[in-house]
Chains A and B, each alone.
Chain A
Amino acid sequence: MTDGHALGFAMEQLGQVGAPVVGTVLNDIDFRRDAAYDDAYRYYAHSGEYAVHTS
């Protein structure tokens, strides 16, 4: 699993050269686990283990 520090360092590396980041792909997400935490995640519990965010 990628921790927050590694992700932050990656963004810093890209930011230092001015590379525009159009989005992130989060994989291996356990939405079933999160569904137990928040109702908002219940839909995703049925839809899979990937999430996409583009800016």
Chain B
Amino acid sequence: MGLGSAGDRAHGRRVGRADPRVQPAAPASVIGRNNGRRTLVEAFNLLGTHIALGPWRDTTKLFTVTSPLPAEGKTTVAANLALTLARRGARVLLVDADLRRGTIARVFGIAREPGLSDVLLGTAEFQKATHSIPVNETEYLHLLTRGRACHDPVYLLGSAPAHALFRSLRDQYDSIIVDTPPVNVVADASVIGAPGQA
């Protein structure tokens, strides 16, 4: 592992969630390295197929993306996987649960706040904190950025509001892709990935 996430930036707009009035100027594109773009697309098609059709397809909707250490490509994988699934027509939410250094907002060029932390703290409504960006002529990818900085991300991610939010999302989306901090460094990914969270 060890892929940097620099590269093409997806085009995003801050719009109302699933707003049919949205007329995007350009659909979001797969992000990644400038070279090897075709093979990157194919690799994520393969990953998306495994995720969508794997033996967990009827029981699991929430997928946590993590890595041992920082800067190993978590956000690149999470964003591309979410885009790939959304392009196939699935209703997909990409959540930036790296409440410490999450970069989903920057990658997609959207506002970082309000986001997940604001929803969990009760200072923003989920519907208003969620962004929708087009991925092709008809499909959208939904995004929840990390939101404002908070003092205790592990506590917040393991709190009752977090459990309630992730459970409710199962009814609203086909897949929820969650970008998290490195699992060898902090406990956030373990908290989200533990059974019973979603």
* A residues with CB within 8 A of B: 1-2, 6-7, 9-10, 13-14, 16-20, 22-23, 25-28, 47-52, 54
Task: Give per-residue flags for B74-91: 1 if the beta carbon is below 8 A from chain A beta carbons, else 0.
Answer: 001100000000000000
Contact B39 A54 (CB under 8 A): no
A39 to chain B, nearest CB (A): 20
The stretch among B10-18, B61-69, B104-112 that forms the contact with chain A is B61-69
Nearest first, the 7 closest Cβ-Cβ pairs linking A and B are: A48-B39, A50-B43, A19-B193, A27-B3, A10-B68, A2-B1, A54-B50
Contact A22 B190 (CB under 8 A): no
Contact B69 A6 (CB under 8 A): yes
* B residues with CB within 8 A of A: 1-3, 36, 38-40, 42-44, 46-47, 50-51, 54, 56, 60, 63-64, 66-69, 72-73, 76-77, 182-184, 187, 189-191, 193-195
**Chain A positions within 8 Å of B67 at CB level:** 2, 10
**Chain B positions within 8 Å of A14 at CB level:** 66, 183, 189-190, 193
**Chain B positions within 8 Å of A9 at CB level:** 68, 184
Q: Cα distance A48–B46 when bound, in Å?
A: 12
Q: Cα distance A18–B64 when bound, in Å?
A: 13
**Chain B positions within 8 Å of A10 at CB level:** 66-68, 182-184
A2-B67, A48-B40, A48-B42 as given contacts; A22 in contact with B72, CB under 8 Å: no
A14-B183, A18-B195, A19-B64 as given contacts; A50 in contact with B40, CB under 8 Å: yes
A18-B195, A47-B39 as given contacts; A25 in contact with B47, CB under 8 Å: yes
A41 to chain B, nearest CB (A): 15
Contact A47 B42 (CB under 8 A): yes
B6 to chain A, nearest CB (A): 13
From A7, A18, A19, A25, give the contact of B77 (CB < 8 A): A25
